[in-house]
Amino acid sequence: MFNYFANPVRFLRLTSKLQPITMFVASVTIGLGLYYGLVKSPPDYQQSETVRIMYVHVPAAWMAMFCYVAIACSSAVALIWRHMLANIIAKSTAPIGASFTFLALATGSLWGKPMWGTWWVWDARLTSVLILFFLYLGYMVLYNAFDDQSRGARAAAILSIVGVINVPIIKFSVDWWNTLHQPASVIKMDGPSIHPSMLTPLILMAVGYTALYFWLLFVRTRAELNANKVRMMSIQQVET
């Protein structure tokens, strides 16, 4: 099955159908999520209205980690089986993931000012997310740093696999070190410990972000594939 979809032509055909679907899902769930989150859900008894930043912040942080893992996985596939498509998926994911990371960082600091009284502290959770952001940037720069595209792809793939060690550190930093940041309450072994009125918009937003990710991914990979084709055609033209 994997090989079946690894064929770029089939991939293009498939994604041309999926693209409008994901766009639709993304806009509906994000719209609903924002409505429930910002209007319908109750303010927190401790944090009052500022809690609403959560609906933007938390799913963004999840997506930041998810995208990185996606890059690492498709990089591993690209290194082992040498599928060009896997490289292109990894390459296209990077800026999206970096944007989610930036969003998590920005909303986190906006939230931190009222909650902790400062924009930024150098605790383990925050620092490891910042490192994640730098890893994204490093990945993108390394990808483009070579005269030969395929060299860049391979070097960046290795970097992304090395950097994956940072993801569990982000996830568990709140458990391993005592930090200002609050520990997990949704994704944990014994089920979520958060009130349903807050959980619903959170889940809606998470689904929406994921759909948004796939939509952007499809747009970018298709563009990338077409750009490759153009490049190939221009080189062929030269040679005939």
The contact set with another protein (CB under 8 A) reads: 7-9, 11-12, 79, 82, 84-85, 118, 120-122, 127, 130-131, 134-135, 137-138, 141-142, 144-152, 154-155, 158-159, 161-163, 169, 225, 228-229, 231-236, 238-240
Question: Which residue matches tokens 């929406």?
Answer: 208
Q: How far is the CB of 203 from another protein (least distance, A)?
A: 32
- 154 contact choice in another protein, ligand HEM, none (CB below 5 to 8 Å, kind-dependent): another protein
Site for ligand HEM in 36-65 (CB under 6 A): 54, 57-58, 61-62
Q: Is 54 exposed, middle or buried (0-12, 13-18, 19+ CB in 10 A)?
A: buried
Between 96 and 153, name the residue whose CB sits nearer to another protein.
153
Total number of residues that touch ligand HEM (CB under 6 A): 24
Q: Which is nearer to ligand HEM, 187 or 230 (CB)?
A: 187
Residue 44, beta-bridge partner list: 48
148 with 155: CB under 8 angstroms? Answer: no
CB 136 to another protein: min, Å: 10
Minimum CB–partner distance for residue 161 and another protein (Å): 7
Please tell me what DSSP assigns to residue 186. Answer: S
Residue 182: left (phi > 0), alpha (psi -120 to 50), or beta?
A: beta
> What tokens were used for 169?
């550190």
77 binds, among ligand HEM, another protein, none (CB under 5 to 8 A by kind): none
Q: Rounded to whole angstroms, how far apart are CA atoms 187 and 173?
A: 14
Report whether 97 contacts 147 (CB < 8 A).
Answer: no
